[in-house]
Amino acid sequence: MTSFPTAAAGALLALSVAASTAPADAAKELAPTGRLRAAINFGNPVLAQKQPGSGEPGGVSVALARELGRRLGVPVDLVPFAEAGRVADAARDGSWDIAFLAIDPVRAAGIDFTAPYVLIEGTYAVPAASKLQAIEDIDRDGIRVGVAKDSAYDLFLTRNLSRAQIVRAADTAASVDLLRHGEVDALAGVKQPLASLVASHPEWRVIPGRFMEIDQAMCLPKGRETGLRFVQAFIEEMKASGFVAHALEASGRGDVPVAPPAPQP
């Protein structure tokens, strides 16, 4: 848990940075059309969900997007996506102004990230009878790992698995089908959705531990330095004030840890 003095120092730093960047100046870069177009990845239910019954969007990333729009004094348009990889690809065609993605060096070629606002974990689901018992068991010859193409864990495992074979599916649902049909030995994913999946499929189980920490951040297309400074300070304030923790709790994700304050320069 972040100590109060550390959190308070982060908040003061964020406020001082924000004070040096006027909302009107930031809005010119963050919402060049006069509206803030926020890409929301509904493929990660830890961060964004559609409310039962109403179908209204909710979750911590939705709450942050709306609060940022309020600070900037502009309307917010939520741009829905089904997968993180599609959000990252769409940065090239200018269809969003801000987004919420896991920090990754491949994505950083065209996207600028704030410090993370939440920390989630990547792990594996396997058949209940599998001999695979630990994270360390996965990277072996002959092991097939299913992933959603261009997800944070696909990018990470591509760099870090040396012996196991990665089997890429078009999206998360298709990657689950790989496990269902026995086409892979393990399915990589975010811990909480995998746990929910296994709860309704007793023929599968989640391997304890994690193979990666997934640092979720707000991000912008590259080249918007004034806007980036503003959202960096904004995210630090949202963490320190309890806004992120409250939004997680309100969306039923209170078990997800808020990221610590960004290191001070």
So what's the pLDDT on residue 242? 98
3-state secondary structure of 109: helix
Residues of the chain with pLDDT under 50: 1-19
Contact status, residue 68 vs residue 263, Cβ threshold 8 Å: no
Contact status, residue 87 vs residue 41, Cβ threshold 8 Å: yes
Q: What residues does CATH 3.40.190.10 cover in the chain?
A: 4-119+215-250, 121-212
So what's the pLDDT on residue 60? 98
Residue 41, Cβ density class (10 Å: 0-12 exposed, 13-18 middle, ≥19 buried):
buried
Give the pLDDT confidence of 251-263 residue by residue, as tens digits: 999 999 999 999 8
167 strand-pairing partners: 146
d(CA 107, CA 75) in angstroms, rounded, equals 27
So what's the pLDDT on residue 4? 39
State the helix-helix crossing angle for 225-241 and 60-72, rounded to 10 degrees.
Answer: 120
* Six token digits for residue 107: 């994505």
So what's the pLDDT on residue 154? 96
d(CA 93, CA 246) in angstroms, rounded, equals 33
So what's the pLDDT on residue 244? 98
* Six token digits for residue 154: 């696909």
d(CA 49, CA 28) in angstroms, rounded, equals 29
Residues 6+ apart with CB under 8 A from 225: 29
Residues 6+ apart with CB under 8 A from 162: 139
So what's the pLDDT on residue 20? 54
Architecture, CATH, for domain 4-119+215-250: 3-Layer(aba) Sandwich (3.40)
Q: Is CATH 3.40.190.10 what the domain over 121-212 is classified as, yes or no?
A: yes
DSSP H or E segment with residue 68: helix 60-72
3-state secondary structure string, 240-255?
HHCHHHHHHHHCCCCC
So what's the pLDDT on residue 123? 97
So what's the pLDDT on residue 265? 66
